[in-house]
Amino acid sequence: MVRSRNILTATAVAIALGAGAGRGASAPSAPVAVAAPAAPPVPAPPTAKLAWVGRVLAPVTARAAPKRSARARMVVQPIAPFAQGATTLLITRTLVRDDVRWVEVLLPIRPNGSRGWIPADVLALSTTPVRISIDISERRLTLFRAGRRVMTTSIAVGAPATPTPTGPSFAIAERISTNQPGAFLGPVVMPLTGFSEKLNEFAGGNGRVALHGTSQPELIGSAVSHGCMRMRNADILRVARAARPGTPVSIHA
């Protein structure tokens, strides 16, 4: 009985090890497939349907050219200055130099449209299908998702003495909840990477323009602001649900 058990056990072990093919000959082991590491994503310039954004993971110097010896444009911190959330930047170009992938990003500094180069490895990359177009003359904001118009609303824009800045290259910089729906700025403020071209500072700030709500909805459709774009509180909440920091914004007259 003991002998039979031993024979059965030995046979099971031999089968498990693949040693039963041929009279005592070992079957060749099949090669083990090893998956190659996934290549990191390669961001591309914004299109009508998609934009790449990068969340900053550590303090990094944005430079005037894609090399570490290039002139510094600014130091980008991972924490945004107003709401203390994550800093997320719109990516406008990318290239590899000396085995380092660099990305060009839109910077929240003057002059409007300023850009800088940072190494891609300090960013957590993602994409957004959302973009915003603002028509100053029509006083209208349009929100697109994957190239399809999903929202159009009337807004108030800058007064003649303090016009809303125009240009193809802005982005949402932050999303700030005021927790005060009845406040002058409404329930949400979304600063852009753009600045007033007439005011160097306003209300203690540095002249940054923003999308925000309003406690004066009767002024929607007028040119009355210091450069910001005001909208009804229900509309800014819709925009805030769809857009996030890094979302591209174009403003045209």
The residues assigned a catalytic role are 212, 228
Which H or E element spans position 8?
A: helix 2-16
Task: Output phi, psi for 238, to 5 deg.
Answer: -65, -45
CA angle at residue 173 from 170 to 174, to 5 degrees? Answer: 150
Run of H or E including 6: helix 2-16
Q: In whole angstroms, give the CA distance from residue 127 to residue 129.
A: 7
Helix/strand/coil percentages in the chain, nearest 5: 10, 40, 50
